[in-house]
Amino acid sequence: MAGHERVRTEVVSGLPGGEGSREGRWIIPVLVALIGAFMAILDSSIVNVALPTMMRVFNTDTATIEWVVTIYMLALGVVVPLSGWLGDKLGFKLLYILSLGVFTLGSLLCTLSWNVDSMIAARVIQALGGGMIMPTTMSIIYRLVPREKQGSAMGIFGMAMIVAPAIGPTLGGYLVEYVDWRWIFTINLPVGVLGVILSWFYLPVFPRREAGRLDIGGAVTAAVGLFCLLLALSKGGDWGWSSEAIVLLFYTSAVSLGLFIYLELTQENPLLDLRVFRYLTFTLGNVIVIVTSIGLFAGVFYISFFLQVARGLGAMETGLITMPGALASGLVMPLTGWLYDRLGPRPLAVAGMLWLGWTTYIFHHLDVITPTATLYLWVILRGLGMSLAMMPGQTAALSVVPAELVGRASAITNIINRVSSSFGIAVLTTVLNNRTAMHAAHLANEVTASSLAAGEFFRQAGLLLGGGSTAGDQARTLAAAYLQGIIARTAFVRAIDDVFIIAALIILVGLLPAFFLQKGSGAARATFGGE
């Protein structure tokens, strides 16, 4: 079925450039659309480093301040399903401008927030705009760029997806430490205003499609189902996976999403047309989206976690180590897009999965004494693998979808991306906690007070801390506490290593669908001219 869809031509107007620049007239609009996408992704990671400062300024506790991040993630997921219908209703240019405007307004309200409640409310407004930006940007790209150039365009788009979450902690750490924590939101204001102005002048006007009536049942069930699912995945580790609240959230999510699927398959005008999964390449491409999303966030999250917990680095120092990998990936992404246009998705996706799986696996050698130069090399190699693995699957998935369904198909892909990222972090964090406890128990059994190594350690510690007395109670207490710290840190490092082995195995699952990817021709193609 994939690769045989009839091409639907879409006429767009208002493209910059003269008649002689037709082939490259999509580049400036794509770069303009990336302004909002970059900002929305950046705000998913830049805020984390400011939470301790916000907790102190707003005089609140950890559980409350975490909602500044959690509510943003929840609101992002809830609004994405509406993006396709709104794009058809309003036009994707107008929807993009409105979304970026709402996001910028939310950033202003975050800057002006006076307590934690106002901050959480402002983050909801910010996310309502940010959640629309990503699928709208993808829809614009597929409506604007000729099919034979879509790989190159998605390569440029991939730069924002890869680089933004990596530089967020570094930029946020710098602003919090050297400027002011509110500037993590204030920097969005001039960029957002500039993006709105440029979008008005440089984004073309796309013909509107018949949107039909809003599928209210689908919108409600999708919102409830995604909200409960994302909240359960986010809070399962804190509240307990078997707690009544988490079980109820999963149950509500399953019922709501099950009802949503039934409604979408039986409605004449569904909110999300799930029939796009009939296109084999769309389904296979989204399987790759799942594993690469888990791979991306496993790298960003757990490498940073290791550096901060095991090696005691700050957020900014951690970001400086992980950033070269993102920059390498971002720089190579356009080359990947260029190769996609010439080779198709299959060879790139297969090579990318193998490369990303291997470079994720090598992180299971991490230790507190791993040289920093080695870390730089590993993150750069992994970044190169990410650029090869991520772009082909997502690009191929949307390339086989008919033009009239691209907006809603991109919403589906964004939902899958968001849910799989949260699911991956939830599962791998549970693995991390369980393996840490297992390794700690194993080490504690090996290092007992009666063992020769432990006995010698206590004797030497007693000589050092007790001023020559080997029986000092205070010296033994201090030595025991120190030894316990060593055991805890060693157990954590070993558990992190286990997490990277599991993450590598998950990534390699993407090899099978990668072998069957095809370069489709069903997505929107642009012919330059008037309406």
Question: Per-residue DSSP letters for 209-262?
Answer: ----S--HHHHHHHHHHHHHHHHHHHHHHHH-TTSHHHHHHHHHHHHHHHHHHH
Q: Which two structure tokens, joined as six digits, stand for 3?
A: 């690769």
Model confidence pLDDT, tens digit, residues 9-56: 444 555 554 433 345 588 888 899 889 888 888 887 788 778 888 888
Instruction: Give buried/exposed letters for 405-437 (b at 16+ CB in 10 A, else e).
Output: bbbbbbbbbbbbbbbbbbbbbbbbbebbeebbe
pLDDT in the model for residue 26 = 82
Place of tokens 């994405």: 80
Positions in the chain short of pLDDT 50: 1-11, 17-22, 469-470, 522-531
pTM, two decimals, is 0.80
Sequence-distant (≥ 6) Cβ neighbours of residue 191 within 8 angstroms: 35, 39
| Whole-number Å distance between alpha carbons of 522 and 528 | 18
Sequence-distant (≥ 6) Cβ neighbours of residue 389 within 8 angstroms: 288, 292, 295, 349, 352, 353, 355, 356, 507, 510
Sequence-distant (≥ 6) Cβ neighbours of residue 7 within 8 angstroms: 147, 521, 522, 525
| Whole-number Å distance between alpha carbons of 180 and 185 | 10
Closest by CA position to 99, among listed 90, 383, 305, 527 = 90
- DSSP bridge partners of 13: 205
Model confidence pLDDT, tens digit, residues 114-170: 998 999 999 999 999 998 998 899 888 888 888 778 788 888 888 777 778 778 878
pLDDT in the model for residue 246 = 93
Return the number of other C-beta atoms located less than 10 Å from residue 466's C-beta: 17
Write down the H helix ranges in 275-314: 280-309
Q: How far apart are the first and last CA of the chain?
A: 31
| Whole-number Å distance between alpha carbons of 214 and 138 | 22
pLDDT in the model for residue 10 = 47
Place of tokens 């409604």: 263
